[in-house]
A and B are shown apart, each in its own frame.
Chain A
Amino acid sequence: MIANRARDEHDADRVAVRIENVHKAYRSGNTSTPVLNGVDLTVERGECVYLAGPSGSGKTTLLSILGCILSADQGQICILDRDISRLSWRGRTTLRRQRLGFVFQRFHLIRGLTVIDNVCVPLTLRGASPRAAHKRAETLLDAVGLAHKANAHPRNLSAGQCQRVALARALVGDPDLILADEPTASLDAANGQEVMKLLRRLTTEEGRAVVLVTHDHRIFPFADRILWLENGQVADMPESPPSGASIKEDG
C-alpha cells in the first residue's frame, strides 16, 4: 500500500500529461463527427512530444483538450497532476494562466503592444507588477536573441522574429507544459530550425514538457517522440521514421 502510494507520488512528479481513452466528437444538428476515438497519451516532464498526422486527424483537437480550451466527451485527462474533467471553466482558465504556455502557428501577438509588452502579457494577466514583468521579459527576450527589439512593434519584425517573441511570451511565466501548434509552419527552413533549437533549449532542458503539433518533417529531429494521429487514434507512422526521433504508440 505504502509502496503503491510512493510509486504514485513518484509518477506524479515525473508525468506532465496523462490521458486515457479520450473521445471527442463535433456535433452539428443531429450529425456527430468523431474526431478522437480513445486516445491514450503520456508525456513526461522534460520530454518533447510531437503530434503529427494528416489534416483532420484530431491533432489540434487533442492539443486544445490538453490546453484546457476544449472539453473531451469521455476519458481521463490529467494535466500537471490536475484532473481536468473535475475542473470548472474558471479553474481551467487559471491552470492555463498559471502553468501552461502556448505557441501558435500565426504567432498571435497583439499588434498595439511592443515586443516587450507582448512578452509581459501572461504576467500581466497574473497580476504581476509592471516592473517585475518587464524585468522577466527582458531576460526572455535576451534568451531568444531579441533584446534589441524590445521596443519594436510586431509589424516591424520578420516572421521568425515574431515566433521567437511568441516563444518568449509562452515561457515568461515559467510554465510546466508548453503547447505549440505548428510553430514552424509560417517560417522558412532556417527560421524553423532556429525556433526549434530555442524551444528545446529553453523548455525540455529546464524540465518543461512540450507537446507540439506539426506537419513539418524538417523539425522531426528535435522530438523525443513523435505520435502519429490518424482517424482520431494514435497509429503507426505510414513511412519510415525520420532520423533522430523514435516514433511509437503511447499507452
Chain B
Amino acid sequence: MWSIALKTLVADRGKLLTALVGVVFSIVLVNVQGGLFLGFVTKAGLLIDNGRADIWVGHRKMHNVDFPRDIPRRWVSRIRGIPGVKAAEPHLIGWTDMTLPSGGFESVVVVGVEPVSLMGNVWNVTQGRADAILQTDGIIVDECELEKLEYPVLGDQRELGGRRARIVAMSHGVMGFLVAPYAFTTFERAAVYLRKDPHVCSYILVELQPGADVDRVCEAVARRVPDADVYPRDVYSQISTDFWMTRTGLGISFGAATLLGLLVGMVMVAGTLYALVLDRLGEFGTLKAIGATERQVFSILIIQALVMAMVGAVLGLACVAGIQYTLSEPRAPIVVPSWLSLGSCVLVSVICLISSLLPYLRIRKIDPMMVLQS
C-alpha cells in the first residue's frame, strides 16, 4: 500500500504542494505564535529565573515580581538563622522616572541589590562589569533599551527620582514583561531613587546551602515570618507568569491565533485530499473492483495524509528555525522548546488524519461497478 499511496501522491505535484503549504503554514503559525507566547511568558519571571535566589519572601498575596509591596527589612535577620539558609538578603524593586537629556521622562523599574552578595543582580553584562553598581551613583541598564533612554553610553549621567545616576555597565537582553527598562543598582541607592524608607524592602532573597531541601526551608521561613509569603523560585516565577495570563487576554489572543492557524491548515489539507480523491474516483473504483478492501483503500488515504504531515512538518520546522534565527530578539523573543515542535508535529499529524476522513467518506460511497459502467 505504501508504494501505491506514495507514488500516486507524488504524481500530482500541484495538489501535493497545496497541501504542504497548508501543513507548513500550520506548523509555522503554531511554533512562532507559541514561541512568542513562551518568550513573553519567560520575561514575566525574568528577574526570578535569573536572580540566583532559591526562595523569594515577600508581602502577603504577592503576585508579580515587578509590583511588590514593602516588607520590614529586619525580617532578614530572622531568616538568616534558619538551618539550610546560606544567605538571606534584602531586595528592592520599584518604579520611578528617569530624566532624559531631551527634557522628557521615562518610567524605569529600579532593582536594588545587596552590595556584598550581589544576589538578584543583573546578568549577561556585555559592557563594563556587573559589580560596577558599587561605583558612585552607578546603575546598569540594558543595551536593548537604549532608544528609550536616548542612547546613553558608559559614563553618561541621568537622573533617577531626581537623584544623579551614572551608567557604569550595560547588559544584553535583560528586558522584562513591561515596557519600562530595568536599572540595577545597590540596595541603599535604590532606596534613595525610589524614596523608600531604608528599613523596608520588596523581597528577601534566600540562597540555600548545598543539599538543603527547599520545601522544608520554605516551611521554616513561613513559620519564622508568618506574615510573609514564601515561595521557591520556580513557584513564584509561575505565579508572576499566571498574573499576566489570567489578568490579561494574552493567552486567549495567542491561543486564538494558533487555533486559527491549525484550522486553516486543516481546511487546506482536507480540501487537497478531497480534491485528490475526487480526481481519482475511478482509480479508487478500480482498486475496489480488483479486490482492494475498505481497509486497504483507507490505508492509502492515511499514508498520504501522514506523509503530507511529516514532510510538511519538516519543512515547517525548517521555516520556524529560519524565522527564529532572523526575527527573535530580546524585545520579542521566540522561544521554541523541543516539546512545542514535537507537539505541533503530533497535532498537525492528527489534523491530517482527521482531514482524511472527509475524502474517505466519499470513497466509501464508490461502487466498484462504476468501472464497468464507463
Do A124 and B3 have beta carbons less than 8 Å apart? yes
Q: Which of B111-119, B204-212, B287-295 is the interface stretch?
A: B287-295
B10, B288, B374: which contacts A106 (Cβ < 8 A)?
B374
Closest Cβ of chain A: how far from B238's Cβ, in Å?
A: 52
B282 adjacent to chain A (CB < 8 Å): yes
Do B283 and A110 have beta carbons less than 8 Å apart? yes
Do B372 and A124 have beta carbons less than 8 Å apart? no
CB-defined interface of A179-206 with B at 8 Å, one 1/0 digit per residue?
0010000000000000000000000000
Question: Given the interface contacts A70-B369, A110-B4, does A90 sit within 8 Å of B374 by beta carbon?
Answer: no
Closest Cβ of chain B: how far from A3's Cβ, in Å?
A: 38
In the complex, chain B residues whose CB is within 8 Å of the CB of A90? 293
Question: Given the interface contacts A63-B372, A124-B4, A130-B3, does A94 sit within 8 Å of B10 by beta carbon?
Answer: no
In the complex, chain A residues whose CB is within 8 Å of the CB of B293? 90, 93, 97
Question: Given the interface contacts A110-B286, A113-B4, A130-B3, does A98 sit within 8 Å of B372 by beta carbon?
Answer: no
Chain B: CB-nearest residue to A166: B286
Do B290 and A122 have beta carbons less than 8 Å apart? yes
Do B372 and A125 have beta carbons less than 8 Å apart? no
A60 adjacent to chain B (CB < 8 Å): yes
B7, B9, B289: which contacts A96 (Cβ < 8 A)?
B289
Closest Cβ of chain A: how far from B160's Cβ, in Å?
A: 71
Q: Which chain B residues numbered 337 to 374 have a C-beta less than 8 Å away from chain A?
A: 367-369, 371-374
Q: Which chain B residues numbered 46 to 86 have a C-beta less than 8 Å away from chain A?
A: none
Do B7 and A104 have beta carbons less than 8 Å apart? no
Closest Cβ of chain A: how far from B8's Cβ, in Å?
A: 4
Q: Is the interface of B mostly helix, strand, loop or mixed?
A: helix
Cα–Cα distance between A122 and B368 once the two chains are bound (Å): 15
In the complex, chain A residues whose CB is within 8 Å of the CB of B1? 124
Cα–Cα distance between A122 and B11 once the two chains are bound (Å): 20
Question: Given the interface contacts A94-B291, A97-B291, does A64 sit within 8 Å of B374 by beta carbon?
Answer: no
A108 adjacent to chain B (CB < 8 Å): yes
Number of interface residues of A (CB under 8 A): 33
CB-defined interface of B296-331 with A at 8 Å, one 1/0 digit per residue?
100000000000000000000000000000000000
Q: Which chain A residues numbered 61 to 113 have a C-beta less than 8 Å away from chain B?
A: 63-64, 67, 69-70, 90, 93-94, 96-98, 100, 102, 104-106, 108, 110-113
Chain B: CB-nearest residue to A95: B291
Chain B: CB-nearest residue to A170: B290
Closest Cβ of chain B: how far from A94's Cβ, in Å?
A: 7
Chain A: CB-nearest residue to B4: A124
A121 adjacent to chain B (CB < 8 Å): yes
Question: Given the interface contacts A110-B283, A112-B10, A113-B7, does A67 sit within 8 Å of B289 by beta carbon?
Answer: yes
B219 adjacent to chain A (CB < 8 Å): no
Chain A: CB-nearest residue to B286: A108
A117 adjacent to chain B (CB < 8 Å): yes
Chain A: CB-nearest residue to B282: A108
Do A113 and B8 have beta carbons less than 8 Å apart? yes
B227 adjacent to chain A (CB < 8 Å): no
Question: Given the interface contacts A110-B4, A113-B8, A125-B296, does A102 sit within 8 Å of B369 by beta carbon?
Answer: no
B150 adjacent to chain A (CB < 8 Å): no
B283, B285, B368, B371: which contacts A111 (Cβ < 8 A)?
B283
B215 adjacent to chain A (CB < 8 Å): no
B12 adjacent to chain A (CB < 8 Å): yes
Cα–Cα distance between A108 and B287 once the two chains are bound (Å): 9
In the complex, chain B residues whose CB is within 8 Å of the CB of A124? 1, 3-4
Do B291 and A64 have beta carbons less than 8 Å apart? no
Q: Which chain A residues numbered 111 to 151 have a C-beta less than 8 Å away from chain B?
A: 111-114, 117, 120-122, 124-126, 130
Question: Given the interface contacts A110-B4, A110-B283, A111-B283, does A60 sit within 8 Å of B291 by beta carbon?
Answer: no
Question: Given the interface contacts A69-B369, A70-B369, A181-B372, does A108 sit within 8 Å of B283 by beta carbon?
Answer: yes
Do A60 and B373 have beta carbons less than 8 Å apart? yes
In the complex, chain B residues whose CB is within 8 Å of the CB of A106? 371, 374
Chain B: CB-nearest residue to A96: B291
Cα–Cα distance between A64 and B373 once the two chains are bound (Å): 10
A60, A117, A169: which contacts B372 (Cβ < 8 A)?
A60
In the complex, chain B residues whose CB is within 8 Å of the CB of A113? 4, 7-8, 11
Cα–Cα distance between A90 and B292 once the two chains are bound (Å): 10
Closest Cβ of chain B: how far from A88's Cβ, in Å?
A: 12
List 27 contacting pairs A-B, 8 Å CB cutoff, sorted by A. A63-B372, A64-B372, A67-B289, A69-B369, A69-B372, A93-B292, A96-B290, A97-B293, A98-B291, A102-B289, A104-B286, A104-B372, A104-B374, A105-B374, A108-B285, A110-B4, A110-B8, A110-B280, A110-B286, A110-B287, A111-B11, A112-B9, A113-B8, A113-B11, A114-B7, A121-B290, A169-B290
Additional A-B contact list (11), CB under 8 Å, known A112-B12, A124-B1: A63-B372, A67-B289, A69-B368, A97-B290, A97-B291, A97-B293, A104-B289, A108-B283, A112-B8, A113-B4, A121-B287
